[in-house]
Structure 1
Amino acid sequence: MIENLKEVTKETVANEILMLKNDGYRLVAMSCTELDEDNVDILYHLDKDLELVNLRMKAEKAKPVPSVSGIYFCAMLAENEMRDQFALGFDGLVLDFNRTLFLDEEITVTQVPLCSNVKITKQ
């Protein structure tokens, strides 16, 4: 069980992150896990004075989620990694590597490494 966990939505995540930043929290990590064929959980981990606050957002793989890289620039690395590994889209991503931060082109056009049963077909 994750302590200090708050559920957020695509509509509320940016505002929640901004309020925590304004309160002195720093973004320490973001993580993602596949829930099922269509959904993932994105977790935002923030710290202030050695107290972690965790935000959880359930997201559909097929729909872009709001980027928080405009609030915490460093989030663009985690968001690009999620693009690589889960083929997620992010609205407002300040620097988009288009699934090539860690992956070679031959992988990005054919597969999604951390998603079960997902293959990209060439168009």
Structure 2
Amino acid sequence: MIENLKEVTQDTVASEVLKLKNDGYRLVTMSCTELDADYVDILYHFDKDLKLANLRMKQPKDAKVPSISGILFAALLVENEMRDQFGLEFEGLILDFNRTLYLDEEITEVPMVSNVKIVKQ
């Protein structure tokens, strides 16, 4: 069980991240796991004075994820990694590596989710 966990949605994630930032929390990392054929679970991990705060968002695989890189610039690396590894699309991503942060061009399947093919843009 994750302590200090708050559930967020696509509509509330940015405002909750901004609240944590304004309260002095720093982004530690984000993590993602496949829940089923249609959804992934995205967790946002924050720290302030060795106290963790976590946000969880159940995300449809086929919907764009609101990027938090406009609020916390460092998030662009983890968001690009999730794009590479889970095939997620981020709306408003400040710097988009277009699935080339970790993946070579010849990779055609998303490594961390079931049956997702990479479509080059």
Tell me the TM-score normalized by structure 2: 0.96
1:112 to 103, 110, 113: 110
Provide structure 1 residue ranges, at least 5 long, that are not aligned to the other structure. Answer: none
Aligned partners of 1:48, 1:76: CA distance in 2, in Å? Answer: 21
Aligned-pair distance for 1:117?
2.3
1:56-90 deviation per Cα after TM superposition (whole angstroms, max 9, x unaligned): 00001111010000011000000000000011000
Q: Are 2:3 and 1:3 aligned?
A: yes
Stretches (4+) displaced over 3 A: none
What do you get for the CA RMSD once the two structures are aligned? 1.4
Match of 2:100 in 1: 100
Provide structure 2 residue ranges, at least 5 long, that are not aligned to the other structure. Answer: none
State the SS of the aligned residue for 1:106. Answer: coil
1:2-43 deviation per Cα after TM superposition (whole angstroms, max 9, x unaligned): 000000000000000001000100000100000011100000
Match of 2:39 in 1: 39
Amino acid at match of 1:115: V
Counterparts in 2 of 1:121 and 1:22: CA distance versus 1, 3 Å:
closer
Aligned-pair distance for 1:116?
1.4
State the SS of the aligned residue for 1:119. Answer: coil
Amino acid at match of 2:10: K
Match of 1:26 in 2: 26
Matches within 5 A, 1:63-102: 63-102=63-102
Amino acid at match of 2:80: N
Amino acid at match of 1:16: E
Q: Which stretch shifts more, 111-120 or 5-14?
A: 111-120
Aligned partners of 1:121, 1:31: CA distance in 2, in Å? Answer: 23
Do 2:34 and 2:113's aligned partners in 1 also have CA atoms closer than 8 Å?
yes
State the aligned residue count. 121
